[in-house]
Chains A and B, each alone.
Chain A
Amino acid sequence: MQDEPRLDELITAVAGFLRDQIAPQISGHAAFKLRVGINALDLVARQLTLAGDSDAQELVRLQSLLGRDGSLSELNSVLSSLIASGAVDLSTPGLKDHLWRTTLAKLAVDQPTYASYRREVDSSAPANSSSS
């Protein structure tokens, strides 16, 4: 077991330093690159915080949808093949709900400010929206 601070805490501290102390001193293309770098660190921090839970939930949904066990990567490959062959489609119970939840979990890490994501999150009920 590794010691504290946690990785997300470390990364958040570094990103904060770069954003608040360094970025104001830099201009031009280097400033653009620095912004990209800070965005990357923020993304890493979000994934460290969020992906444990969302991956676990995705795995449970995939197991239930496919009726079998496997790693996230294996089950996603199986699901992809089933969609490609037409064996599973939007009329399959649970598929639409699964794809939405999985995609929203990705956006929460990758781009929580993306306008379509904001629209979907802000317009869905705070409780579980089990529309499928």
Chain B
Amino acid sequence: MRSSRKRPAQFKGNKAAMAAADLAELLGQSVRAWCAGATGIRDLVQLSGGASQETLSFTIERAGGDLAAILRRSPPGYGSVSGRAAGLAAEAELMKLAGAAGVPSPPVLHVLTEQDGLGEGFFMQKVEGETIARKILRDDAFAAARPKLARQLGEIAARIHSVARDALPTLRMLSSTEEIDLLRTEVRNLGWPRPVFQLALRWLADNDPGPSSRITLVHGDYRNGNLIIGPNGVRAVLDWELAHLGDPMEDLGWVCVNSWRFGAIDKPAGGFGSREDMFAGYEAASGLTVDAGRVKFWEVMGTLRWGIMCCGMMQRFRQSPENSMERAMIGRRASETEIDLLRLLAPRG
């Protein structure tokens, strides 16, 4: 499943330089095997971001013209989202299905097999654009796109939820009630008392809307930061790692989690615009009515879930030999979800 060889996360130092050379060699072998006319690769770069999976960018040298490509694979020591991950092969399948349903998606080039010797993952075509949420929210290059994005997010979510269920790979399915129970167990396992998380768990149990009448593909991490944005809007939806079956309103709630507004806190739809704009896009594209109450429920659930994920990063920081500063610091972001939970559940004044 995972590459059995230990590789440092960053290509620095002597050992790491050798590992990078090894990796480039393996990538070259792989692309020659599946990409017609490919002679090798160059410009290998590890992209930052995506703390739980490794993303590499490189150029495939090819007789018919070079091709910019991305490899997404499990890095050594990967095991964060305990039992939640769909698996990288399923991710590749979902990207193809989503693309066919009209969701902007990078073309999948090749799914890794044992012969590749690169672990689990897949190659996709590189899509030009920006993924860094703060740049998308602030740079002039996206000024024309920003006002359109809330509505686009709604339209695209509707297309994600329209993918036929019988075409889907095997995905986990949790009801809201089971999800609450899972989060309760995770909070207990933190081994650190968090009264605000307990307050949120109580609220969720008291406000659980019950099973959704509509069960669809749910992206699971649909938000600003997991999108490639160009001057005209969304060019690609990325990171299907947390995809599952469930209440489609979950994706709309997750978009609104305050952490994914990146400072633009008065624009709930990803920092881009209003819930109403996003809902209007969703309703126009799907012909269905958005259940705003369910969306709010999932926003609270999502805020708590992100808080627990931050705590999980802290635990991985302690346990993994990499001793990653970034993970340690994400651990200190759990408190941001506590203030957001209080703003949602116990507003002052």
Contact = CB atoms under 8 A, between A and B. Distances in A.
B336 A110 contact: yes
Top 9 A-B pairs ranked by shortest CB distance?
A: A76-B193, A106-B335, A83-B198, A77-B193, A80-B193, A110-B332, A115-B263, A115-B265, A110-B335
A37 B325 CA distance: 7
Interface residues of A, number: 40
Interface string A63-106: 00000000001001101110110100110000010011011101
A85 B265 CA distance: 32
Contact of B339 (A37, A76, A120): A120
A36 B325 contact: yes
A111 B195 contact: no
Contact of B340 (A81, A116, A129): A116
A39 to B, nearest CB: 6
Interface string B315-349: 00000000001101100110110111011011011
A76 B335 CA distance: 15
Contacts of A77: 193
A11 to B, nearest CB: 15
B202 A103 contact: no
B170 interface: no
Q: What is the predominant secondary structure among interface residues of chain A facing chain B?
A: helix
Interface in A1-40: 29-30, 32-33, 36-37, 39-40
A73 B191 CA distance: 11
A128 interface: no
Nearest to B271: A115
Contacts, number: 97
B258 interface: yes
Scoring A79, A81, A89, A99 by chain B CB atoms within 10 A of each residue's CB, the highest score goes to A99
Contact of B346 (A32, A36, A100, A106): A100
B338 A106 contact: yes
A111 B262 CA distance: 13
A80 B346 contact: no
B82 interface: no
A104 to B, nearest CB: 7
Given A30-B12, A84-B198, A90-B199, A114 B193 contact: no
B226 interface: no
A96 to B, nearest CB: 5
Interface in B125-170: none
A100 B342 contact: yes
Given A106-B335, A106-B338, A116 B202 contact: no
A110 B335 CA distance: 7
Contacts of B348: 100, 120, 124, 129, 131
A45 interface: no
A104 B258 CA distance: 16
A105 B258 CA distance: 19
Given A76-B195, A80-B195, A114 B329 contact: no
B325 A107 contact: no
Given A84-B202, A111-B333, A40 B325 contact: yes
Given A29-B48, A32-B48, A114 B199 contact: no
Interface string B263-301: 111000000000000000000000000000000000000
B46 A29 contact: yes
Nearest to A75: B193
A39 B338 CA distance: 20
A29 B12 CA distance: 10
A119 B336 CA distance: 13
A48 interface: no
B325 A96 contact: no
A51 interface: no
Contact of A83 (B195, B261, B340, B349): B195
B113 interface: no
Given A43-B332, A100-B342, A119 B202 contact: no
